[in-house]
Chain A
Amino acid sequence: MAEVSEVLDLSPAAGEGGTGPLVEVRGITKIFPGVVANDGIDLAVYGGEVHCLLGENGAGKSTLMNILSGMYRPDAGTILVDGAEVQIDSPRVALDLGIGTVYQHPTLIPVFTVLENLVLGQGRGLSMDTKRALAGLKQVAADLGVEIDPRALAGRLALGQQQQVEIVKALWGGSRVLILDEPTSMLTPQGITELEKVLLQLKERGLAIIFITHKLHEALDVGDRVTVLRRGRVVGTLGPEVVRSTSRDELQARIVTMMFGEEAASLAGVAEVRGEVTGHRTARQVSSEVMLELIGVSVEPQRSEIGIRDVSLAVRRGEIVGVAGVDGNGQRELAEAVAGQRSVHTGDVLLAGQSIRHTSVSGRQRMGLRYVTDDRVGEGTVSSLSVATNLILKRIGDGPFWKRGRVCDDAISECATDLVDSFDIRTPTIETSCGTLSGGNLQKVLLARELSFDPRVVVYNKPTHGLDVKTTYAVRDRIRQLAEERQVSALLISTDLEELLDLCDRIAVLFGGRLMGVVENEVGAELEVGRLMVGGDSR
């Protein structure tokens, strides 16, 4: 703690005055087979500041953070902490230097309880310090405005809750430097607001915070300093003076240009950049034919889940129906019940009027039902297989990729190359193993696979999480296009209200495993959805 207060005392206006940065990297270079992930990166992070790191998918943000947290060794460059050069050759060293990290992909152990996950690595000798962990969890959870059962198995928590546990874990370790790699990708707007408040408090205490996000408004809300990476290089840094004195719109425009260069022009009109969130009614005509229907569907909860009770919902042909609600209110159960990964306890699921309650996952696949999971690393992709194989993963054994039991490599690579191009997947080659892709590019692989091969009904669970602004809008366009031009119906689960308002015809709200109501997406819809989301009675 001594160092922290020292930083506080010496740096009332850290960064601009005499004090040096808490952490500084110089000329960091990291080369992976086929890509230069970091190319001579210089970055200085000051105590008492939130330093936002932005950049398109695959820009090298996570790689740099992994270097700071001891997971990767840089090929060149130096790291300085408190002005002294350090060798961070293991995560232990980073932790001892006071660098705490929330990694982009969950590092919780699914079969451990929340408490066990928190005390992991904290023990001295044989004893487990559960008391301290419980107290820490309680306090940080209160700060974050969340309630987490310490005895629940981590793997059974909704991903948003898992993310909160990760944040708690990084926070109560007593860090001086906090790295948050897309901590908000799974959080609801309320969750994000609470996190932002906590960040402000930590900043007051003199912590240096590195905050990675793809949502520009978050960066502008909390960032004191903004650095943009592009293709492994620093494009530029906006210092605190600039950030403070420039108007929001202008900042946004500048950042977008830095992130995407020439290509930025096409983004001028999108809502994120405009920064407005409001309901609107799509003027298009939706046919009255019901494609997907849930009739009184109930799913039994597994441990620490909520299950769903008596959910009835119809999605018409070409319609996009959103499902809003705080993560952990039955979203995963709903999606998996439709996809066939979980059995329906009572009620029925109809696809084009036909009961699919007893149809297998692959049977439903063949009927044109697709499921874009929100767990891209765990169940969405196989990290040791190549990008190409992952892209046709659900077509193994089918033509044209297999002919009479023999694999046709040409057909596979042709198809994979097409998909990689059309979804702009940044990968050195199609033979690269999927696990090495950046988070956003992994998400693109998942989307590319599920949206090709003639889908009829798609269940999306947080389809754009972890995508950069540009890709997010490309994906949304595609979802819209599929609905309008190919009459693909969609059930779109998201914690991001702005996304639902942008895409959906109607928005259903799940709360406590029940359907609270369905709202037509017209002006003012966000208020009604917000009311239902906290359990307001449906009218």
Chain B
Amino acid sequence: MTELFTTAFVAALISGGILAGMPLLLAALGETVSERSGVLNIGLEGMMLMGGYGGFVVALYTNPWLGLAGGLAAGVLTALIMLVFCVRLGLDQIVVGIALLVTAEGITSVLQRAQFGTTYPRLDAMPVFQIPLLSKIPAFGQSLFSQPLIVYIGFALVVVVHWVLGFTSMGLNLRAAGEKPQALDAAGVSVVATRSVAVLVTGGLGGLGGAYMSIVGAGIFVPFMTHGAGFIAIVIAMLARGRALWVLIGAMLFGMSVSLSTALQLVGVNVPQDVVNMLPFVAVMVALIVFARQAYLPAALGSPYTRGSR
């Protein structure tokens, strides 16, 4: 009996962790790209909400895959605003980020309300893709390797971001833009173009994360459903110090702390719902207290670049 409970516990922890952690992973990967290039994207949560809503609507009328693509596109469109104001015009990144968030919250709630009233249409679950053999591994095989395709894509993106940032000239340019933009400029690479790409990628990944939440995770869209996930993603990105593999670990740990209650209930331990809702935030705080001293932020993070102004 105990054996069974343990297996069930692990399985619930993992699948729950992925469910809750995947949006964080996608968004935090995006934030990593943007921060490395020197743009602090406080509006990430707004991009997730837009992606969540846009993706959901597309998915509702077409199919989940187009929905995910729609979410990505909605995120990119939102990021365009950030691009124009922060990268092109050099306005304050924090002010614009907060404005984006508030606007996105407003727009998505109003549109949702206007379109569906107080009903919340539900999407079908996305089909899972069983990886042969691996999914047969006892304990965690089923929960890890029998997931919707987008989950594998999410994990693959970790590797892609890691590779791009660390081993390509584009990654080098991105990091240079975040450390010392005038050096990048002097080397003949446009800082504005480099940062623009980074901001759009962030928007795309944030939007995709939001769409994952509504389409894959919940199957419905509820206003304000991101619930601070964008900010947790920012914290994860900062704690990971720009390293994609640490983003993965961080996002999954936070995801698991969310799913812990379900898993505990499975083994018969009952935790009050309030405590459960608190957990991820407590986890953030603990992580900050323990690791924040080592957090490394790019030298030029948050400062707009204008050539020739010294």
Excluding A91-B187, A120-B184, 19 further A-B contacts by CB distance (< 8 Å) are A66-B308, A71-B308, A72-B308, A92-B188, A92-B189, A95-B188, A107-B187, A109-B176, A110-B180, A111-B179, A111-B299, A116-B172, A120-B172, A123-B172, A124-B169, A126-B169, A127-B169, A128-B169, A435-B310
A383 at the interface (CB under 8 A from B): yes
Specify which of B170, B182, B190 is in contact with A90 (CB 8 Å cutoff): B190
**Residues of B174-199 contacting chain A, CB below 8 A:** 175-176, 179-180, 182-190
Q: In whole angstroms, what is the CA distance A473 to B167 when docked?
A: 49
**Given contacts A109-B179, A126-B170, is CB(A91)–CB(B185) below 8 Å?**
yes
Specify which of B168, B188, B308 is in contact with A128 (CB 8 Å cutoff): B168
Cβ contacts under 8 Å, A94 to chain B: 188
- A sample of 16 cross-chain residue pairs with beta-carbon separation below 8 angstroms, ordered by A number, consists of A71-B307, A90-B190, A94-B188, A96-B188, A110-B179, A110-B299, A112-B175, A120-B184, A121-B184, A121-B188, A121-B189, A125-B169, A128-B167, A128-B168, A128-B169, A128-B172
For chain B, the count of residues having a C-beta within 8 Å of the partner chain is 24
A69 at the interface (CB under 8 A from B): yes
CB distance B176 to A112 under 8 Å? yes
Cβ contacts under 8 Å, A110 to chain B: 179-180, 299
**Residues of B158-176 contacting chain A, CB below 8 A:** 164, 167-170, 172-173, 175-176
A122 at the interface (CB under 8 A from B): yes
CB distance B179 to A436 under 8 Å? no
Closest beta carbon of chain B to A471's beta carbon, Å: 21
Cβ contacts under 8 Å, B175 to chain A: 109, 112
A298 at the interface (CB under 8 A from B): no
CB distance A112 to B186 under 8 Å? no
**Residues of B140-169 contacting chain A, CB below 8 A:** 164, 167-169
Q: In whole angstroms, what is the CA distance A111 to B297 when docked?
A: 12
Q: A residues engaging B (CB < 8 A)? A: 66, 69, 71-73, 90-92, 94-96, 101, 103, 107-112, 116-117, 119-128, 383, 435-436
CB distance B186 to A91 under 8 Å? yes
Cβ contacts under 8 Å, B180 to chain A: 107, 109-110
Q: Which residue of chain A has the shortest Cβ distance to B181 in the bound complex?
A: A109
CB distance A107 to B183 under 8 Å? yes
**Given contacts A126-B168, A126-B170, is CB(A109)–CB(B183) below 8 Å?**
yes
Cβ contacts under 8 Å, B299 to chain A: 110-111
Cβ contacts under 8 Å, A126 to chain B: 164, 168-170
Which 6 residue pairs across A and B have the least CB separation, nearest first?
A123-B169, A121-B187, A435-B310, A92-B188, A126-B168, A95-B188
Q: Which residue of chain B has the shortest Cβ distance to A101 in the bound complex?
A: B186
Q: Which residue of chain A has the shortest Cβ distance to B308 in the bound complex?
A: A72
Q: In whole angstroms, what is the CA distance A46 to B186 when docked?
A: 24
Q: In whole angstroms, what is the CA distance A167 to B109 when docked?
A: 57
CB distance B184 to A123 under 8 Å? no
Q: Which residue of chain B has the shortest Cβ distance to A63 in the bound complex?
A: B308
Q: In whole angstroms, what is the CA distance A126 to B168 when docked?
A: 5
Q: In whole angstroms, what is the CA distance A383 to B172 when docked?
A: 26
Cβ contacts under 8 Å, A122 to chain B: 169, 187
**Given contacts A91-B186, A95-B188, A120-B187, is CB(A383)–CB(B310) below 8 Å?**
yes
**Given contacts A66-B308, A109-B179, is CB(A103)–CB(B186) below 8 Å?**
yes
Closest beta carbon of chain A to B32's beta carbon, Å: 16
Cβ contacts under 8 Å, A108 to chain B: 183
Closest beta carbon of chain B to A398's beta carbon, Å: 29
**Given contacts A119-B172, A123-B172, A126-B168, is CB(A91)–CB(B188) below 8 Å?**
yes
Closest beta carbon of chain A to B223's beta carbon, Å: 40
Cβ contacts under 8 Å, B176 to chain A: 109, 112, 120
**Given contacts A101-B186, A107-B183, A112-B179, is CB(A123)–CB(B170) below 8 Å?**
yes
Cβ contacts under 8 Å, A112 to chain B: 172, 175-176, 179
Q: In whole angstroms, what is the CA distance A436 to B306 when docked?
A: 14
Cβ contacts under 8 Å, A124 to chain B: 169
Q: In whole angstroms, what is the CA distance A119 to B168 when docked?
A: 11
Q: Which residue of chain B has the shortest Cβ distance to A103 in the bound complex?
A: B186
**Given contacts A71-B308, A92-B188, is CB(A107)–CB(B182) below 8 Å?**
yes
Q: In whole angstroms, what is the CA distance A436 to B310 when docked?
A: 6
Q: In whole angstroms, what is the CA distance A110 to B176 when docked?
A: 10
Q: Which residue of chain A has the shortest Cβ distance to B179 in the bound complex?
A: A109
Counting chain A CB atoms within 10 Å of each CB, the highest count among B173, B179, B183, B299 belongs to B183
Q: In whole angstroms, what is the CA distance A111 to B173 when docked?
A: 13
Cβ contacts under 8 Å, A91 to chain B: 185-188
Cβ contacts under 8 Å, A383 to chain B: 310
Closest beta carbon of chain A to B150's beta carbon, Å: 25
Q: In whole angstroms, what is the CA distance A391 to B184 when docked?
A: 31
Closest beta carbon of chain A to B40's beta carbon, Å: 18
Q: In whole angstroms, what is the CA distance A121 to B172 when docked?
A: 9
Q: In whole angstroms, what is the CA distance A71 to B185 when docked?
A: 8
Q: In whole angstroms, what is the CA distance A123 to B189 when docked?
A: 10
Cβ contacts under 8 Å, B182 to chain A: 107
Closest beta carbon of chain A to B124's beta carbon, Å: 39
Cβ contacts under 8 Å, B310 to chain A: 383, 435-436
Cβ contacts under 8 Å, B183 to chain A: 107-109, 117, 120
Q: Which residue of chain A has the shortest Cβ distance to B163 in the bound complex?
A: A126
CB distance A123 to B168 under 8 Å? yes
Cβ contacts under 8 Å, B185 to chain A: 71, 90-91
Q: In whole angstroms, what is the CA distance A73 to B167 when docked?
A: 34
Q: In whole angstroms, what is the CA distance A109 to B168 when docked?
A: 17
Q: Which residue of chain B has the shortest Cβ distance to A73 in the bound complex?
A: B308
Closest beta carbon of chain A to B87's beta carbon, Å: 16
Q: In whole angstroms, what is the CA distance A353 to B139 when docked?
A: 70
Q: Which residue of chain A has the shortest Cβ distance to B180 in the bound complex?
A: A109
Closest beta carbon of chain A to B118's beta carbon, Å: 49
Q: In whole angstroms, what is the CA distance A122 to B182 when docked?
A: 16
Q: In whole angstroms, what is the CA distance A230 to B207 when docked?
A: 57
Q: In whole angstroms, what is the CA distance A66 to B185 when docked?
A: 12
Cβ contacts under 8 Å, A435 to chain B: 310
Closest beta carbon of chain B to A437's beta carbon, Å: 9
Counting chain B CB atoms within 10 Å of each CB, the highest count among A73, A96, A128 belongs to A128
Produce 1/0 per residue, B221-247, CB < 8 A to A. Answer: 000000000000000000000000000
Cβ contacts under 8 Å, B189 to chain A: 92, 120-121
Closest beta carbon of chain B to A41's beta carbon, Å: 17
Q: In whole angstroms, what is the CA distance A66 to B308 when docked?
A: 8
Counting chain A CB atoms within 10 Å of each CB, the highest count among B168, B169, B182, B190 belongs to B169
Closest beta carbon of chain B to A385's beta carbon, Å: 13
CB distance A71 to B186 under 8 Å? yes
Cβ contacts under 8 Å, B167 to chain A: 128
